[in-house]
Amino acid sequence: MSLVRVENLGKSYNAQTKVLKDVSFNVEAGEFVSIIGPSGAGKSTLLRCINRMVEIDEGNVVFDGQDVGSLNKKELRKMRTNIGMIFQHYNLVPRLSVIENVLHGRFGYKTTLQGILGKFTEDEKEQAFYLLKKLGIEDHAYKRCDQLSGGQQQRVGIARALIQDPKIVLCDEPIASLDPNASKVIMDYLKSITMELNITCIVNLHQVEIARDYSDRIIGLSKGGIVFDGPSYKLTTDSTDLIYGTTTPKVEKRQLVTV
């Protein structure tokens, strides 16, 4: 059974424009899927429908056998502990230390009071340091997040998602505000760690090349609908044109005009 099943998903923020139209796809456990498409294609909305950070208007999203749209508040919280999320702007609390931000990922497993008092078990703290070490930023554990570079902050974001012990990680443009070097580091970490821990990963990207290099499968989104879904190697120039609505210049035939 697929880990994520999206069936005829539709979403609109206002009456005029539909952000998503009749989107359907399945993601199997352990897959590394990239969703590519131009800005405004609905990538972020699609991702946020999976953990219901935005409400689902039409259709169904089934995660791990549960219908996401019909969960009540408590069940939704419980489901979200199984879904890690990584953001373009890292979405850390900049004034808190790295380790505090990482441990925020455990809140879903705690009661309100435990969370407020910051009661974390030794195992959780060890796990946090283990992840920071794995991501190469254990030296910065006690620094404030706003003193870190963008790439380092995104690694904190990854650690926060992984400490949830998630079945799936949703990444919303994780490298869109990073330089090429930092982008490569982040994508390498995402790929290797999700493979090692056997975590499913859905990444929103707008760089086609990176999507092709890292993912097993690519979903192309354009104007709220899926226009390409298949293994990365099958993505041709024609399909990128379809996704981005561009036309790759073809060699023009020149005519010799003689008078």
Burial (CB < 10 A; 0-12, 13-18, 19+), residue 256, is: exposed
Examine residue 80 and tell whether it contacts another protein (CB under 8 A): yes
Examine residue 78 and tell whether it contacts another protein (CB under 8 A): yes
Q: From the list 11, 110, 140, 155, which residue makes contact with another protein (rule: CB under 8 A)? A: 110
Examine residue 221 and tell whether it contacts another protein (CB under 8 A): no
**CA-wise closest residue to 136 among 112, 152, 125, 157:** 152
**Alpha-helix residue ranges (DSSP H) falling in the chain:** 43-50, 73-80, 98-103, 112-117, 122-134, 150-162, 180-196, 208-214, 237-244
Closest CB 241 distance from another protein, rounded Å: 34
Examine residue 234 and tell whether it contacts another protein (CB under 8 A): no
Residue 87, token pair as written in the block: 């953001």
Q: From the list 59, 105, 151, 224, which residue makes contact with another protein (rule: CB under 8 A)? A: 105
Examine residue 94 and tell whether it contacts another protein (CB under 8 A): yes
Bridge partners of residue 32, in order along the sequence: 201
Measured from the CB atom, the residue of 61 and 226 that comes closer to another protein is 61
Cβ–Cβ under 8 Å, residues 49 and 20: yes
Distance CA 169, CA 199 (A): 7
Closest CB 74 distance from another protein, rounded Å: 10
Sites for another protein among residues 141-160 (CB under 8 A): 157, 160
Centroid of chain to Cα 9:
18
Measured from the CB atom, the residue of 38 and 115 that comes closer to another protein is 115
Closest CB 115 distance from another protein, rounded Å: 4
Residue 228, token pair as written in the block: 């390409």
Closest CB 53 distance from another protein, rounded Å: 6
Give contact residues for another protein (rule: CB under 8 A).
51, 53, 76-81, 83-85, 87, 89-96, 100, 104-112, 115-116, 118, 157, 160-161, 164
